Structure 1
């Protein structure tokens, strides 16, 4: 495997994408060649690694991480966040008053502050706020509830270091988005003061993958239902897949802080984002759904070379600033 396999996959998918577009045009009307080839490359990568064991899958995904201008403009500092490995991403001029706690995606099996470092750095730069990227434990070695426990530990660590709940916003993509909601539910049930709110990128909230979009959008997205169920099985372990902290779609969402949900119009988790928004709204939660037409799963992670990712990240930052600003206003009024 390794870099040679990555290069071979990249070349093969680029050639195949070019040939197909010449005959039939773009797979989606708004897709550039670069965007479509990137989607094809990521899907082929997932198909190539799905049969590997978890450490090998992680190693392959780590190899996809590349240097970026955003990473050069933030200060990175590893830290022990209450027993959980984490990393600070600090933009120029940031103070310690506000914090974004970032929970990476990767189906609870892979992902880290390395694979998501560029996006985390762009969020730090776009908000002007320090971001704490959490390297929570991963399945199958550490199935549910390990990631939920690690998130709660890191949040308590922030509080113990003088950060006020109203000055913290959660942000997470895919599995990390579902994890953010699960942690909010666990905090509410445990009587802990919640953060200001959460901004969620394509949250994976239904690990049974029952949404219609999982199948309807499979041909456009970065993986397929078979892969999702495989990773879900590793994470769920001996737990009930409908446990509210495993699949927050089944949780009681009343009294959660404000949520901003971003979904791609042609991604498999589209219905997860729509359904969790509807359920939160019905429970009286202040929630805003933003749908991005023609976009696939986690398109914000594609990097600064993609206009779609730049616009999507700018909107994430706008929503994070809104969450923190509104919480500060409420705190001042109180």
Structure 2
């Protein structure tokens, strides 16, 4: 680990460190007995998956006090890498809340508008760190808005903030032909819902939309949503709670708040990535099929043994390194630059056209 963050209330730190030690021991013993959870995983992936799952589960048990829940989840976490060559600048007064992540060396003239994950309820330290990872790895300027969270702010707060952030980036002088819309998990949901509302808002479409393990249906969809619980760091029951918090007691249907029920025709290319062991993979597959049926441009790549948001392992893991490299190539492709954005064995759906 490059850096471990330990912060907050003593009881939270103590419990988190105890859980970390217990899971590390459990994983080491199981692997010594040749019984890893997934044979293809190195130790760190198994440990990381089980640790984050345990942290999420306990955070949910604390959710009657959502501030305490968030503080517990952020009490102890590790960073595999830091990014000193990325400058982080908060937005100013009168601008949408958020941060610009500006790499000192840029490899593309694209600008990435990135919505963080966390079920619309958490904005964890690792999410802030992941925005820096994207800026550094992709070599692009990244704007990550600090959109309003549930349960305090149900729908349509997040969509309003997403559209405001999109308009803000354009007002900063970014050409829509170089603008890439992006999001992971619930942030992927927000990216796709924002994309679907651009016409209504009178805003131009982006060059490309990226969905990293995106949440595409807030209801029940696909066997993986609960069937992959033993392998993933998030659990099926959490998606239903996140959906309830998003609705906030309003008379809203799942279809109204689900990207899979929106129209994406003529909204530009959408590139999706998922892990084959994550709970959302089946709904992501269904979403790709739906967009293709609308004659939209869409590609889905799935890494068979990976979990939700495996991109966070960065350079450490070959699969995450490959996924991030493909994002870089997809951006080059969308901007008409030389690229190697081609379908291969990971590609399950390819309707990108030229």
SS at match of 2:336: helix
Q: CA deviation at 1:223?
A: 2.4
The verdict on how the C-alpha distance between 1:26 and 1:69 changes in structure 2, with shifts beyond 3 A counting, is closer
Identify unmatched segments of 5+ residues in structure 1.
327-334
What residue is the counterpart of 1:43 in the other structure?
Answer: 53
What residue is the counterpart of 1:33 in the other structure?
Answer: 43
Report matched runs for 1:1-334 at 5 Å: 1-23=11-33, 25-52=35-62, 53-64=65-76, 66=78, 69-80=81-92, 83-94=95-106, 98-111=110-123, 114-237=125-248, 238-244=250-256, 246-325=257-336
1:118–1:301 contact (8 Å) kept in structure 2:
no
The verdict on how the C-alpha distance between 1:81 and 1:229 changes in structure 2, with shifts beyond 3 A counting, is farther
Q: CA deviation at 1:63?
A: 3.3
**2-side partners of 1:167 and 1:25: how far apart?**
47
**2-side partners of 1:135 and 1:103: how far apart?**
8
1:169–1:195 contact (8 Å) kept in structure 2:
yes
SS at match of 1:295: coil
CA RMSD of the aligned region, Å? 2.1
**2-side partners of 1:143 and 1:82: how far apart?**
22
**1-side partners of 2:83 and 2:251: how far apart?**
38
2:314–2:324 contact (8 Å) kept in structure 1:
no
**1-side partners of 2:111 and 2:14: how far apart?**
39
1:177–1:202 contact (8 Å) kept in structure 2:
yes
Q: CA deviation at 1:110?
A: 0.3
Report how many residues are paired: 324
Deviations 1:43-90 (A, max 9, x none): 111111111132222223333455564421211101149642111111
**2-side partners of 1:12 and 1:119: how far apart?**
26
The verdict on how the C-alpha distance between 1:303 and 1:266 changes in structure 2, with shifts beyond 3 A counting, is same
SS at match of 1:50: helix
More helix by share: 1
- Which one has more relative contact order, counting CA pairs under 8 Å at least 6 apart? 1
> What TM-score, normalized to structure 2?
0.85
1:90–1:131 contact (8 Å) kept in structure 2:
yes
**2-side partners of 1:43 and 1:298: how far apart?**
13
What residue is the counterpart of 1:331 in the other structure?
Answer: none
SS at match of 2:335: helix
2:108–2:332 contact (8 Å) kept in structure 1:
no
Q: CA deviation at 1:233?
A: 0.8
**2-side partners of 1:20 and 1:167: how far apart?**
48
Deviations 1:259-312 (A, max 9, x none): 000010111000121111111111111111101110000111134433333232
2:108–2:139 contact (8 Å) kept in structure 1:
no
SS at match of 1:72: coil
The verdict on how the C-alpha distance between 1:118 and 1:318 changes in structure 2, with shifts beyond 3 A counting, is farther
